[in-house]
A and B are shown apart, each in its own frame.
Chain A
Amino acid sequence: MATTATISLSSSDLLSYPISISKTMTMYKDNTTSTDFTQMNYHRLELPTDNYGGGTPTNLDLIPESDALKDTANYVYICNASTSDSQYVTISINDEVIGSLYGGDFAIFPWACDLSHATNDSTIEAQAFGATQTVEYALFHVGETLATANDTP
């Protein structure tokens, strides 16, 4: 069981010599030599610009932090599945905006889910600008803790 990612970055004319970067990684659990991830989430959703009818542009929790994820190796893939060059989604952690994903843009990064600071300091957040946009994300993670159900069947 394995999860791999390969990135290629290339340009023939950005510099006076061609750029060709290629890297493949196998994603493993933290502090292990080669223990593969066994859990993942894959989501596709629409991010509104009006807080779901509330009328106010709002930064939304995309991937909530949790004790089960903290201080570990989790990997996040996020893609803005929209097509507009002018509409975008910001991706942030705590009060720091990492960057903006325009239509077709993607990101892949490790997420340690650092809970050492204030509450909600490591949740990955997203905000849509310009129009409702479709976002896909995958989280390869070490575990999650489900909430105890309120109902007893």
Chain B
Amino acid sequence: MATTTATLTVSSDIASSALSLSKTKILKKAGTDTDFAYTTGLVRLTTATGSNTILLNSAEATANYGAASGGSNLITKGKVYITNLNARGDGSKFVTILLADVEIGRLYGGDFMFIPWDGGGGNDLEFTANDTTSTTIEYCVFYE
């Protein structure tokens, strides 16, 4: 059985007492004690468009990893890691991350996110680069 481990540490001196939290979790299939069996691996892509672009198309006819496109594994539930590899610069090279048409947030250069993703029809993860010169992002999905 494959084992995938995620560890997050966050530290801050914003408050008068330092914040230091650390969490480690072996990633499991939903509602079970069974480990994930699939991953996209680490994927890097570069875009020079400011248009809204589907990053992960979970279970629709054009799914990147679905049966309709020749794959055998629909992404239904998983964990998604995304990072914006641009230099932060003046803060203008951010990438807006959306779930369907709902904006989640902005990944600035050097930032990352790690979220659970339930997938499902129409529940695409999308992005829009604010800078149209060149934006490079990486992502990795661990899924059922």
Contacts and interface: CB of A to CB of B under 8 A. Distances in A.
Interface of A: 1-15, 19, 21, 23, 25-28, 30-34, 36-40, 42, 73-77, 79, 85-86, 88, 90-91, 93-102, 104-112, 114, 121-122, 138, 140
24 contacts: A3-B14, A4-B12, A8-B6, A9-B81, A12-B3, A26-B110, A27-B111, A30-B94, A31-B91, A33-B89, A38-B14, A42-B19, A85-B28, A91-B116, A98-B104, A99-B115, A99-B116, A99-B118, A100-B118, A106-B114, A110-B107, A110-B108, A112-B103, A140-B14
A21 B6 CA distance: 9
Contacts of B12: 2-4, 37, 40, 140
Contacts, number: 200
A110 to B, nearest CB: 3
Interface of B: 2-15, 19, 21, 23, 25, 28, 30-33, 36-39, 41-42, 77, 79, 81, 83, 88-92, 94, 96-97, 99-100, 102-108, 110-118, 123, 140, 142
Nearest to A97: B118
B119 to A, nearest CB: 8
B19 A14 contact: no
Nearest to A112: B105
A5 B20 CA distance: 10
